[in-house]
Amino acid sequence: MKNASTITANQSGDTIIVLNGSGLLQYFSVSPATITVTAISESVDYFSVSPDNELLILQERNGVLRVYDFEWKEGDKGTQLIDLIDTGSGVSEILWHKDNSHLFLKDRDNNLRFVEIDGSYPINEVLISDGAGSCVYDADAEALYYSYRDGVWKLEI
């Protein structure tokens, strides 16, 4: 694909997601007989796919964080693309919680938040740190580790 800036695929290779330099985010569904292309959004800065490959988080260029549900079908509750929160400064990192319904979001101002993404309103979010550095989530230990000032903190979820 021309002008692709970020490409990701699932292990089987039947799902490919491409973000090009102009902000167009496309989802390619590949089967032996066909390739189906779906344009998800035309103004994306950042995206991350859930570990179970059912959800996609994307940040629009206007700072709005949205969830795209690959499993959603016509007639299901809600919509396929759900607005979550306005991140303001933008996303620098997303770590998925093991339940695929929550995530740890670090914005470019180093605010680290725990955000619910199940599509129910209001969207619940908790500020963990207002000056987080590096962070990592250990799903097996159900713990988030992040640097803050002169130390490393552990938060068990």
**Tens-place pLDDT, residues 41-68:** 999 988 999 988 888 999 888 888 888 8
pLDDT band at residue 31 using 50, 70 and 90 as cut-offs = confident
**Tens-place pLDDT, residues 102-128:** 999 998 899 999 998 876 666 788 999
Q: pLDDT at position 64, please?
A: 85
The label of the residue with tokens 């207002």 reads 130
Alpha-carbon dihedral of residues 120, 132, 144, 118, nearest 10 degrees? 10
**Which residues lie below 8 Å from residue 142, measured CB to CB, with a gap of 6+?**
98, 156, 157
- % of the chain at pLDDT higher than 70: 90
pLDDT band at residue 1 using 50, 70 and 90 as cut-offs = very low
Q: Does the bond joining 122 to the residue before it have cis omega, within 30 degrees of 0?
A: yes
Could you tell me the two tokens for 139? Answer: 């799903």
State the Cα–Cα distance between residues 138 and 97, nearest whole angstrom.
Answer: 9
**Tens-place pLDDT, residues 71-89:** 877 766 667 777 777 777 7
Instruction: Judge contact between 112 and 72, C-beta under 8 A.
Output: no
Q: pLDDT at position 4, please?
A: 53
